[in-house]
Amino acid sequence: MHRQEIGLPHFLIRMTESELRTVLTDRFAAVEQRIAAACARAGRDRAGVTLVAATKTVSPQVAAVALELGARDLGESRPQELWKKADAIPAARWHLIGHLQRNKIDRTAPLAALIHSVDSVRLLDALDAFGRARKLPVPVLLEVNCSREPAKGGFAPADIPPLGEKLAALTGVTVGGFMTMAAYHDDPSLCRPTFAELRTLRDSLRVATGLALPHLSMGMSNDFEVAIEEGATLVRIGTTLFEGLGDEAA
């Protein structure tokens, strides 16, 4: 069988595409089982949770195999990587899950099915102006720092309720909900209060504004099952799917 280099580290450099497909097939199946089980525990419909496969540490070739195996929603943390991979894999539904600088809006927004990481009023206003100029609203989520870690960006939870009237009046963006990242814990159950707070914040703003706010983007490889139990509609999973298949740890 023909072997090729597909952006893998030295110990996997001789993996064939067939072998890569086998590895990814097994990993996606295992993650699917865990998502379905978490939905069952929470009494939720499995169709209500979207897996966003975070491809930030793997090559476009590996990301393309993930798409071929059924992973339609792919996520990138850096706009430049999203540009590159969206050009190589236009059939994917691309999500920006990392920080967006305002000077990268023009190139990024048209490629992203959803921007998860709107972390300031300045960025929100810039995206709104871009969407109004295009006459096509930009789908976004607001990033909220519910873990209150100083190193993480995003709105403080207390900043969200006063924004309700503004969010309801925006025409250049469609605010679909919120995103958060929990602090890492060896015991994922310790992440539960972070996710529950985001859900409560969303539910309160729904009542106050009448906005639908259908999405909660929360949960990563270490804690996505707890996030689903607390209402996540989008889970961003990298390490569990792609560990060892790129040059860095996801």
The 10s digit of each residue's pLDDT in 192-235 is: 999 999 999 999 999 999 999 999 999 999 999 999 999 999 99
Considering the entire predicted model, what is its pTM? 0.92
Q: Are 74 and 95 in contact (CB under 8 A)?
A: yes
Phi/psi class of residue 204: alpha, beta or left (left: φ > 0; alpha: ψ in -120 to 50)?
Answer: alpha
Q: Is the pLDDT of residue 250 over 60?
A: no
Interhelix angle 17-42/60-68, rounded to 10 degrees, is 60
Q: How many CB atoms lie within 10 A of CB 137?
A: 17
> Domain 10-242, CATH 3.20.20.140 — does that match?
no
User: What are the structural domain ranges in the chain?
Assistant: 10-242
The 10s digit of each residue's pLDDT in 78-109 is: 999 999 999 999 999 999 999 999 999 999 99
Phi/psi class of residue 8: alpha, beta or left (left: φ > 0; alpha: ψ in -120 to 50)?
Answer: beta
The 10s digit of each residue's pLDDT in 7-65 is: 444 444 457 889 999 999 999 999 999 999 999 999 999 999 999 999 999 999 999 99
Name, in order, each residue with C-beta under 8 angstroms of 67's C-beta and a sequence gap of 6 or more.
Answer: 74, 89, 91, 92
